[in-house]
């Protein structure tokens, strides 16, 4: 959502520090898309992503007084969202079922050129990965964590993190390659 | 080849999701508003119930404690008044002085059948000195004498020089001494000690100065006194020092304090409860392999304003420290087995708690090195959340303790090593922690 004329991000954040709900709502809606983009990568579905995002925003609202304007707000918010998602993953890990990629169904979409993949296509791809692999892929490749950090976050070893990443990338390549061949045949 | 593909894939995903447009912000906000601001509709009610219950418990405890103390005084007065013949109403009383026969070792029979000799002696006594009979009797047991004096408010009425080996027991029909007491006195009389009998008394109107019997009488009185004063409820205050431990956290020494009360269920069992304020702090070391939270690498590297994380030409490392500080109002409920009269005991029970304050802090530290410019920057951010009275945990932990008591006058000090084993995750952040430590308890009036 675009900010109303005359209101800057920093000005809005400053207003939010006063706890005004109207400005908090404006901030939420302004960064909602970005936040969902992060949340979706770490969640199995949109509802879970929204829950992660909202929990992260609540944390952010509670701590916005400590936010310093010299840092980008998006980076600060993303940090909170990722941590919230990891918290959720850790809590629900025992309920998650890791499916083997070999048993997973193929994606089946037609847009096989990498650059043509939209968000939904990517999410479908990521959904084919086991949760742990997906987490590691997101954390390492997209959000820039190293394997030691990932190990600490997820309660696994750094070597496991490397293995998960390797498998995730390999399976993503395989999925995309298979679908590309499927497109050629069609 | 594959590396290039991976890079393209990564860049594309980053690009797609960094510019993701959400279309349901309004619905999302509506959902968020259900949780924010945090509505405390039920929690104050729960807290008020909890406060009222704790207050009532304390008031009940104090009332029972005071009431028990009053009964003690009344019982003592009753006993001492029973010992002290009233000066104006004992005109019929016949006091027998120790006769040569009794002094020479013959047992003096009691009861009406033996009354003749004693009546004669009594007349002699009355003739010899009305003052002796009129005066308050001498109590060899000085403590008892003092109690009598204080209860009567007339210490001067006790003549320490008169009848040094005698004790008068009233023949009032409402005599508090039991048949056992009488029996003990009779036993004492068998020891050939001087005996003073009261008129019209067939069972308990016995006066004796026998040291042995007197001791028994006093012991009997003390026993009654103890039975009367044996407190069913004891108040105490305590301080605790303990180590709290949660998975992956560093051990932290914490402390607590509170008030407690012991309710006697039987001779051996007591129900212990109270109210304590306990602090639990936890530090999660970021270097640990199982840190709960960590920060994204290069989180602060978006100095360019793009939020570009892990962008080429930059290297970053980050760490996060997690810190939790909980202040819990705990209500323990324990059943303790008294293993000795000194107050040694073992106890098992549960604790419930409301978390008065829960503070959680995540400190993100990031060092970013731009390999192109060789300029490194470091950032540190604290994310703090704090809640008050937001969580109530019923039966949060299993409490095991052992108590070692030491008498301290009328009071008692009890050293209580304890261990608390959590039943489940505790607090708002679902930390699972236990603690082990020692309490030092000061129990009022729990001594002998």
Tokens of B117: 């000799």
List the single range of B107-111, B338-342, B388-392 with lowest mean pLDDT.
B107-111
Q: How far is CA B270 from its chain centroid?
A: 11
Enter the pTM of the model: 0.41
Chain B residue numbers touching A58 (CB-CB < 8 A): 32, 35-36
Kindly report the CA angle at A14 between A8 and A15, in degrees rounded to 5?
A: 90
Mean pLDDT of chain B: 66
Tokens of B206: 């016995």
- Asked whether residue B310 carries a pLDDT value surpassing 60, the answer given is no
Cβ(B254)–Cβ(B244) below 8 Å:
yes
Q: How far is CA A71 from its chain centroid?
A: 20
CB contact under 8 A, A33 and B21: yes
Taking the CB of residue B334, how many other CB atoms lie within 10 A of it? 22
Cβ(B412)–Cβ(B262) below 8 Å:
no
ipTM: 0.84
Average pLDDT over residues B250-273: 87
| Model pLDDT for residues B225-238, shown as the tens digit of each residue | 544 445 678 889 99
Q: How sure is the predictor about A147, in pLDDT bands with cuts at 50, 70 and 90? A: very high
pLDDT for residue B319: 66
Q: How far is CA B432 from its chain centroid?
A: 26
Q: Report d(CA B419, CA B402) in Å as an integer.
A: 9
Tokens of B416: 């209580």
Within chain A, residue ranges assigned H as helices are: 9-16, 21-41, 46-63, 73-92, 119-127, 131-137, 147-154, 158-185
E strand or H helix that includes residue B55? helix B42-83
- Asked whether residue A103 carries a pLDDT value surpassing 80, the answer given is no
CB contact under 8 A, A79 and B296: yes
Tokens of B78: 């009753």
Size of interface A-B (CB pairs under 8 A): 166
CB contact under 8 A, A83 and B31: no
Chain A residue numbers touching B22 (CB-CB < 8 A): 32-33, 35-37
Output DSSP code: residue B200. T
β-bridge partners, B294? none
Q: What's the first-to-final CA gap in chain A, in angstroms?
A: 40
CB contact under 8 A, A122 and B18: no
């Amino acid at each position: 959502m675009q900010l109303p004329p005359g209101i800057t991000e920093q000005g809005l954040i400053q207003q939010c520090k006063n706890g005004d709900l109207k400005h908090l709502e404006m901030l939420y809606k302004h960064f909602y898309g970005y936040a969902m983009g992060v949340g979706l990568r770490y969640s199995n579905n949109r509802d879970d992503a929204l829950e992660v995002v909202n929990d992260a925003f609540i944390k952010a609202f509670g701590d916005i007084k400590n936010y310093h304007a010299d840092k980008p707000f998006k980076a600060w918010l993303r940090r909170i969202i990722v941590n919230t998602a990891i918290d959720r993953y850790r809590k629900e890990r025992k309920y998650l079922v890791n499916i083997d990629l070999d048993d997973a169904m193929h994606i089946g979409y037609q847009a096989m050129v990498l650059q043509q993949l939209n968000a939904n296509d990517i999410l479908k791809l990521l959904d084919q990965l086991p949760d742990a692999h997906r987490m590691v892929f997101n954390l390492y490749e997209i959000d820039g964590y190293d394997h030691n950090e990932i190990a600490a976050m997820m309660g696994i070893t750094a070597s496991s993190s490397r293995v998960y990443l390797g498998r995730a990338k390999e399976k993503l390549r395989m999925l995309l390659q298979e679908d590309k061949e499927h497109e050629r045949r069609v | 080849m594959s590396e290039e593909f991976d890079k393209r894939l990564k860049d594309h995903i980053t690009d797609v999701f960094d510019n993701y447009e959400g279309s349901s912000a309004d619905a999302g906000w509506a959902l968020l508003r259900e949780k924010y601001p945090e509505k405390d509709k039920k929690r104050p009610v729960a807290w008020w119930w909890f406060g009222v219950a704790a207050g009532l418990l304390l008031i009940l405890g104090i009332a029972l404690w005071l009431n028990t103390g009053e009964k003690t005084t009344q019982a003592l007065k009753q006993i001492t008044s029973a010992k002290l013949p009233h000066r104006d109403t004992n005109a019929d009383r016949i006091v027998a002085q120790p006769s040569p026969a009794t002094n020479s070792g013959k047992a003096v029979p009691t009861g009406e059948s033996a009354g003749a000799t004693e009546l004669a002696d009594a007349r002699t006594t009355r003739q010899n000195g009305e003052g002796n009979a009129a005066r308050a009797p001498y109590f060899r047991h000085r403590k008892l004498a003092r109690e009598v004096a204080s209860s009567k408010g007339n210490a001067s009425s006790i003549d320490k020089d008169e009848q040094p080996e005698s004790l008068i027991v009233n023949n009032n029909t409402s005599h508090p001494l039991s048949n056992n007491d009488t029996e003990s006195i009779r036993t004492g009389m068998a020891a050939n000690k001087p005996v003073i009998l009261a008129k019209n008394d067939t069972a308990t109107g016995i006066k004796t100065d026998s040291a042995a019997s007197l001791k028994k009488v006093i012991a009997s009185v003390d026993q009654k006194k103890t039975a009367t004063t044996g407190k069913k409820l004891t108040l105490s205050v305590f301080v605790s020092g303990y180590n709290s431990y949660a998975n992956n956290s560093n051990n932290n020494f914490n402390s607590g304090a509170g008030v407690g009360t012991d309710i006697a269920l039987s001779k051996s069992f007591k129900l212990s409860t109270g109210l304590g304020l306990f602090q639990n702090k936890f530090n999660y070391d970021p270097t640990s392999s199982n840190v709960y939270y960590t920060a994204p690498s290069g989180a602060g590297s978006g100095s360019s304003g793009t939020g570009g994380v892990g962008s080429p030409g930059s290297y970053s490392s980050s760490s996060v420290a997690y810190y939790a500080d909980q202040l819990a109002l705990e209500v323990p409920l324990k059943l303790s087995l008294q293993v000795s009269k000194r107050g040694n005991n073992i106890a098992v029970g549960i604790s419930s708690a409301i978390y008065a304050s829960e503070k959680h802090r995540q400190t993100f530290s990031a060092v970013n090195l731009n390999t192109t410019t060789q300029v490194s920057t470091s950032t540190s951010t604290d994310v703090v959340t704090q809640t008050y009275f937001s969580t109530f945990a019923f039966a949060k932990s299993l409490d095991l303790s052992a108590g070692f008591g030491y008498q301290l006058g009328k009071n008692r000090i009890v050293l209580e090593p304890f261990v608390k084993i959590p039943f489940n995750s505790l607090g708002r952040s679902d930390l699972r922690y236990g603690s082990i430590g020692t309490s030092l308890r000061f129990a009022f009036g729990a001594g002998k």
